[in-house]
Amino acid sequence: MGAHAEEMAEQEPDGIVLTEAQKRSRRQRSIAIALALGVLVVLFFAVTLVKGPAVLNRPL
């Protein structure tokens, strides 16, 4: 990094800095969303295996 960029970085305000509690809860929420998406993927995969080609047959 050049001297000018370093000087700019020092002058920039910190912006929004998350507290430890906010970071922890955000991480928890992110993990929960990831798990939910994982469950959804596994569910679709499992049902595809169970139904086989019939998965494309969706009567109304």
Per CB under 8 A, 26 contacts another protein: yes
Distances in Å between the Cα of 13 and the Cα atoms of 8, 16, 23 are 10, 9, 20
Pairwise CA distance, residues 57 & 59, whole Å: 6
Check: CB of residue 55 under 8 Å from CB of residue 47: yes
CB of 9 to another protein, least distance (A): 14
Per CB under 8 A, 54 contacts another protein: no
Per CB under 8 A, 25 contacts another protein: yes
Per CB under 8 A, 43 contacts another protein: yes
Per CB under 8 A, 34 contacts another protein: no
